[in-house]
Amino acid sequence: MKLLGTTVIFSVLWLVLITGLHGKLNLNWFVPKAEGSAKGEKYKIGFLPVTCHLTCPVTDFINKETTGDGIFEPVRFSGWPELKEAYLSGYTPATFILAPMAIALREQGVPIKIVYLGHRDGSAVMVHKDSKIYRMEDLRGKKVAVPNRYSNQRLLIFRALKQAGMTVNDIQLVEMPPPDMPAALYSKAVDAISSGEPFMAQTELDGYGRVLWLTKDVWPNFISCVLAVHEDMIKNDRPAVQKLVDGIASSGKWLDETMEHRMDAAQFVAKNYYNQHPRLLTFVLSKPPDRVKYTNLALRKKDFEEIEELGKDAGIVNGSARFEDYTDTSFVPDESLVKPYVFEGTGKTEAK
């Protein structure tokens, strides 16, 4: 009887612990909601140190340099799980996020709306320079690494396989954090890698990676990441959302205006936001110049319909959320009217 009583008590305590963890991680119990400007504080915006999110730190830096203050508080995360959980908890009411992940979250009932794109293009498929892989068909039976099941790079591989008359069963598809990919390719633990920059460029710079193809060449105007906000932010503070979108748009125009701007951004973003050597961003933003673009960022239904279809094929979305459900196009500015920030830069354009 004593053993039975102990077992029952332990089971109850275990159930309470699991319920509490579930509530904290998935239902946002015990977590105060970010109130942003309701208390005069800046809204927190989540981002990762990748080129797909470059307009986030550029907007913050330029505003601080020109006005003395930023329009939001950028918060850097090391990976997608942490970035997603920060949004779900309410800590970041706005975030840069993978397009398929945002769509999937909306299908799950999460109050998220895509309001702008983060970039166009900016990914690649890399193979070892000594390999005999020169086309998609050469990857048959090979091991290919992608960031995670919700990444557009995974959809990129699905799309390329289909165009080559192949299926995902013809390759070994593995998930791997992008920062680990260069070392995996160097050691030949995998045969090909694909993720957002600058991790693909790192393999080129270090002399062992070779571009199989850039996304701009096989999927023109490729979209990986988007800017998304909580519906409560739209409901309660539309001007703040518009100011955020306008800032990202102006940063994109500034980046694409001149190569000097890009080289300047490579310096101040790498050192102040990404904690990376500037040579990585310098290379990605110039080799070639259109490797990644930050203009033409309007939300277009046909772009997302293709992502939806590929997402259904890949089993990551079910099609229950449509374009009108997961986007809000009312904040998208007229591209012809978007003006670049007036900012001469820091004058530091060479990596040290």
Render pLDDT for 283-325 as a digit per residue (tens, 0 to 9): 999 999 999 999 999 999 999 999 999 999 889 999 999 999 9
Residue 10, pLDDT > 60, answer no
Q: Which tokens belong to 133? A: 């892989």
Report the pLDDT value the prediction gives residue 104, as an integer from 0 to 100.
Answer: 96
Give the mean pLDDT of 14-31.
45
* Sheet strands side by side (includes 44-47): 73-76, 44-47, 94-98, 225-230, 112-117
CA distances in angstroms from 163 to 139, 143, 219, 316, listed in the order given? 13, 19, 11, 20
What is the rounded CA–CA span in Å between residue 240 and residue 234? 8
Lowest mean pLDDT among 29-33, 118-122, 191-195, 228-232: 29-33
Q: What is the mean pLDDT of residues 61-86?
A: 94
Q: Is 135 helix (H, G, I), strand (E, B) or coil?
A: coil
The yes-or-no verdict on residue 18 having pLDDT over 90 is no
| pLDDT value at residue 334 | 94
Q: What pLDDT score does 343 carry? A: 94
Q: How far apart are the C-alpha atoms of 188 and 180, rounded to whole Å?
A: 12
| C-alpha neighbours within 13 Å on the C-beta side of residue 241 | 25
Mean pLDDT of 328-334: 97
Q: What's residue 345's pLDDT?
A: 84
Instruction: Please state which of the ranges 27-41, 98-112, 239-253, 293-307 shows the lowest mean pLDDT.
Output: 27-41
Q: Which domains does the chain have, with CATH numbers?
A: 41-121+223-337 (3.40.190.10), 123-218 (3.40.190.10)
- Mean pLDDT of the 333-345 span: 93
- 199-204 average pLDDT score: 94
Q: Is 281 exposed, middle or buried (0-12, 13-18, 19+ CB in 10 A)?
A: buried
Its pTM stands at: 0.84
Helical spans, DSSP H, in the chain: 2-26, 55-67, 80-89, 99-107, 152-163, 181-186, 199-205, 215-218, 231-236, 238-257, 259-269, 278-284, 301-314, 323-326
The pLDDT, as a whole number, for residue 179 is 86
- Nearest alpha-carbon partner for 96 in 212, 201, 225: 225
Give the C-alpha separation, 148 to 196, whole Å: 12
Tens of pLDDT, residues 94-150: 999 999 999 999 999 999 999 999 999 988 999 999 999 999 999 999 999 998 889
- For 102, the token pair is 């945002």
Please, what is the average pLDDT of the chain? Answer: 88
pLDDT for residue 3 is more than 90: no
